[in-house]
Amino acid sequence: MSPVTSPHTIQLPEPGFAGEVSVEHALQMRRSVRSYKNEPLSISDLSQILWSAQGITTPRGFRTAPSAGALYPLELYVVAGNIINLPSAIYRYRTAEHSLLKIVPGDRRSELSRAALQQSAIKKAPAILLFCAVYERTTEKYGQRGIRYVHMEVGHAAQNACLQAIALGLNTVVIGAFRDTEVKKIADLPAEEQPQYLVPIGRQ
């Protein structure tokens, strides 16, 4: 069980680095899957997937996914609905600490599904990743071209998560169809953070 370091902060288990599934196998097996068994996710699987998307891998703070100018415009959230030893809530992934910070309490999957045009994958998945971005972190240096860079980065990070999920025997689908303003409200996002992608995770 993960230590709860404060009522709002959960330290995640350390990620592993010696999975037995090859990159080639994960690539071969990746498929968009939109319905899942009604089974909880383990916190160690969640920890591993968060790390794969945005985990820090060097003392200088470089991450698993590349970032233009190493400016790191992405913020990653988990909409947790059925995870062992993790209360249902929306959490922000804190990369430096590899921990979760509770942002919105309760199970928000149904609301999120409605914001995503009723897509049922979101309602049924034990957890959904919400990728957000602060464009200004990148456009400050690169101007309008920075917007393109941010979108590329979301793709890199989400693909990492999809392949990591497959390597853990889990399935995903990437979802781009949702109403931004509703998602922002549900996750109580700061004004500068823009939602980019939803990635439900579950077992088929």
Ligand X SMILES: Cc1cc2nc3c(=O)[nH]c(=O)nc-3n(C[C@H](O)[C@H](O)[C@H](O)COP(=O)(O)O)c2cc1C
Q: Applying CB under 6 A, what is the total number of residues that bind ligand X? A: 9
Which window, 48-56, 126-134, 137-145, 173-181, contacts ligand X (CB under 6 A)? 173-181
Task: Indicate whether 152 belongs to the interface with ligand X (CB under 6 A).
Answer: no
Name the residue number minimizing CB distance to ligand X: 176
Which window, 21-29, 122-130, 170-178, 183-191, contacts ligand X (CB under 6 A)? 170-178
Phi, psi of 149 (to 5 degrees): -60, -40
Ranges assigned E (strand) in 51-189: 74-80, 89-94, 99-105, 127-133, 171-172
Question: Is the torsion defined by CA of 121, 66, 56, 184 positive or negative?
Answer: negative
The number of angstroms, rounded, from the C-alpha of 140 to the middle of its chain's C-alpha atoms is: 25
Which window, 30-38, 47-55, 87-95, 124-132, contacts ligand X (CB under 6 A)? 30-38
Tally the C-alpha atoms within 13 A of residue 133's C-alpha that lie toward its C-beta: 24
Nearest residue (CB) to ligand X, 82 versus 119: 119
Task: Indicate whether 173 belongs to the interface with ligand X (CB under 6 A).
Answer: yes
Contacting positions for ligand X (CB under 6 A): 31-32, 34, 119, 173-177
